[in-house]
């Protein structure tokens, strides 16, 4: 390793080295079924973007509203579409 960070846990196991990809969270938002929109943040340019999209609430079974929203990334912008029948979802987004 020429430069960079290494960390170990208390047992001496290597946890982070210069090859590790670490998730950093940019934000979180709730979206309503039927909605669409975008989030622009320069942080999306600092790694590979990801978004966790999970149905909001306590679903008892599987139904049409559990259809995941469509998420895409372009540059510093994340775009989402929760067109019907997609229901309310929670989005947690970041980079790794």
Place of tokens 């940019």: 26
3-state secondary structure of 8: strand
Query: Minimal distance in Å, beta carbon 43 to other proteins?
Result: 5
Residue 91: phi and psi, rounded to 5, are -115, 125
| Structure-token match 């008892």, residue found | 60
Q: Decide if 37 contacts 68 (C-beta within 8 A).
A: no
If one asks whether residue 47 binds other proteins (CB under 8 A), the answer comes out as yes
Binding mask 3-42 for other proteins (x = CB under 8 A): -xx-x-x-x-x-xx-xxxxxxxxx-x--------------
Q: Which of 38, 46, 72, 77 binds other proteins (CB under 8 A)?
A: 46
φ/ψ of 77, rounded to 5, equals -120, 135
Binding site for other proteins (CB under 8 A): 4-5, 7, 9, 11, 13, 15-16, 18-26, 28, 43, 46-48, 50-59, 61-64, 66-71, 85, 90, 92, 94-96
């Amino acid at each position: 390793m020429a430069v960079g960070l290494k960390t170990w846990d208390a047992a001496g196991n290597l946890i982070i080295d210069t090859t590790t990809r670490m998730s950093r969270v940019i934000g979180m938002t709730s979206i309503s079924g039927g909605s669409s929109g975008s989030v622009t943040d320069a942080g999306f340019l600092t790694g590979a973007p990801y978004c966790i999209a999970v149905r909001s609430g306590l679903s008892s079974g599987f139904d049409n509203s559990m259809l995941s929203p469509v998420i895409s990334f372009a540059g510093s912008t994340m775009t989402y579409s929760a067109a019907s029948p997609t229901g309310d979802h929670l989005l947690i987004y970041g980079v790794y």
